[in-house]
Amino acid sequence: IGTESRRADAALARFVGSVMAQRLAPGGILLGDRDMSSPGLVSLDPPAVALPEGVSAWPYCVYRR
């Protein structure tokens, strides 16, 4: 997922989320840098980690089936 079109990215991320909601094993984790919210996936808070100096945080989305 990474086109110049945010609309296309969002549509693809929703599709991927819906497929992964069916394919992940129960309790499986899905991690991505796009919102893949879908029925069957529970949104989780990403773990807090210490980043090296000069490395900026990136907004990751974490889900559990």
- Distance from C-alpha of 65 to C-alpha of 27, rounded to nearest angstrom: 5
Tokens of 50: 């210490």
- For residues 6-19, give the mean pLDDT: 93
- Please tell me the predicted confidence (pLDDT) of residue 39: 95
Strands 42-44 and 29-32: unpaired
**Is the per-residue pLDDT at 38 higher than 90?**
yes
User: If you search the block for the tokens 């497929």, which residue do you land on?
Assistant: 19
pTM: 0.80
What dihedral do alpha carbons 40, 45, 51, 56 form, nearest 10°? 80
What percent of the chain stands above pLDDT 90?
63
Biggest alpha carbon distance in the chain? 39
**Is the per-residue pLDDT at 56 higher than 90?**
no
Residues belonging to the chain: 65
